[in-house]
Amino acid sequence: MERLEPISYRDGETALTGHLARPAGKPRAAIAVFPTIMNSTPAVEAKACVLAEAGYLAMICDFYGRQPDGPVAFEWADALRADTGAWRARLRAGLAALREIAPDLRQAAIGFCMGGQAVLELARDGAELALVTSFHGLLETKAPAAPGSVKARILVCHGDADPLVPREHVLRFWEEMDRAGADWHFHGYSGVKHGFTNPDPPSGNPVVDYDASADRQSWAAMGEMLAEVLDQAARA
């Protein structure tokens, strides 16, 4: 696994630290990676390294400016998300930091759990991203996307047995995105729970479980969508 390089950036008064994985050659694109509610974790770092191995410049963004130690993360996350404007500003700061590192690369964003929710918030916010991919992300929002606001293509990879994201949320998300005129792909995996990309899930939490097939298929789908949007950009 490549070493991750710490990147200091700010959101207003808050000092944040990204973690950057560089590919061997010229990057194909720059990918902002939004972690889970636990902020950067080994599982997310591994994904950033896989992106770098595939030729992408990948930076794990920082939600809190510090690493939570256990359940305090839930308090921090609630505080961060309480104000939609502040929450989106925190996310945009990550994109801006990545833009500074690689001003000429196309950007995309992916995220896991709370990070999946984060990339959808960025899409709703009109971020200039070629693609956002949510892995077991939350689909609900306090500020539904306005018509015409979404510029990013969207891929949602969802465990159909995720207790945090029941089918009502899925249907509401489709309706929201259709009203906004967004271009979305939705992948649902039967019997699959929250956190399905993490091969080392926290024990004793019945909400989450690893699923090797959903992990493999969702990752491949993201790669194929990335290839498509970058091919299109190259032709444009």
Contact set with a second copy (CB under 8 A): 160, 167, 171, 174, 177-178, 182-191, 213-214, 216-217, 220-221, 224-225, 228
**Torsion sign over Cα 129, 61, 44, 174:** negative
Of residues 50 and 101, the one with the C-beta less far from a second copy: 50
Q: Shortest Cβ distance from residue 150 to a second copy (Å)? A: 11
Cα 99 to Cα 134: distance, rounded to the nearest angstrom: 21
61 vs 157, beta carbon nearer a second copy: 157
Nearer to a second copy, 75 or 224 (CB): 224
Question: Minimum distance between the CB of residue 32 and a second copy, rounded to whole angstroms?
Answer: 22
> 95: which DSSP letter?
H
Handedness of CA 210, 49, 4, 62 (dihedral sign): negative
Q: Given the complex with a second copy, which of 60 and 222 has the nearer CB atom? A: 222
In angstroms, what is the minimal distance from the CB of 183 to a second copy?
6
Smallest separation (angstroms) from a second copy to the CB of 158? 9
**Closest approach of a second copy to the CB of residue 188, in Å:** 4
Query: Is the Cβ of residue 142 or residue 216 nearer to a second copy in the bound state?
Result: 216
Amino acid letter for position 183: D
**Spatial distance between the Cα atoms of 14 and 138, rounded to a whole number of angstroms:** 25
Buried b (16+ CB within 10 A) or exposed e, 3-34: ebeebebebeebebbbbbbbbeeebbbbbbbb
